[in-house]
Amino acid sequence: MTNQRLESFQTAFQNLQLLPLITPEQLNKFHVEYGTEILEELEHLVEDCSPDNNKIIFTGHRGSGKSTLLGQFCRDTQNRYFVVFFSISDLIEMSDVNHVNILFAMAVKLMEAAEERQIKISSKTKKAFYQWFSKHTRTEGSSVDSSIELETSGEAGVNAWFVKFFAKLKATLKANSVIREEITIEFARRISDLIDRINDIASAIQSACGQEILVVIDDLDKLGLEIVDRVYRNNISALFQPQFRIIYTMPMAATRDLSLRGIIQNATNNKIQSMWATKLFPRGEDRVPNASPVAEAVTLFEKILYKRIPKELIAPEATQMMIVKSGGALREFIRLASPS
pTM, to two decimals: 0.85
Confidence (pLDDT) at 235: 94
How far CA 296 is from CA of 204, 293, 301, 303, 319, in Å, comes to 47, 9, 9, 11, 15
Domains in the chain: boundaries: 3-18+279-337, 35-275
Whether a cis peptide bond, with omega within 30° of 0, leads into 293 is no
219: three-class secondary structure by DSSP: coil
Calpha distance 324→300 (Å, rounded):
13
* Burial environment of residue 34 by CB neighbours within 10 A (0 to 12, 13 to 18, 19 or more): buried
Q: Residue-wise pLDDT tens for the chain (340 aa)?
A: 567 777 777 777 777 776 677 777 777 787 788 888 999 999 999 999 999 999 999 998 877 788 888 988 999 999 999 999 999 999 999 999 999 999 999 999 999 999 999 999 988 898 899 889 988 988 765 566 555 655 655 555 557 778 888 999 999 999 999 999 999 999 999 999 999 999 999 999 999 999 999 999 999 999 998 999 989 998 999 999 999 999 999 998 888 889 999 999 999 999 999 988 788 888 777 677 777 888 888 899 899 888 888 888 888 899 999 998 888 888 888 888 886 6
What is the reported pLDDT for 8? Answer: 74
CB hemisphere CA count around 148 (13 angstroms): 17
CA distance 72 to 27: 8
CATH of 35-275, picked from 2.60.120, 3.10.50, 3.40.50, 2.60.40, is 3.40.50
CA distance 226 to 224: 5
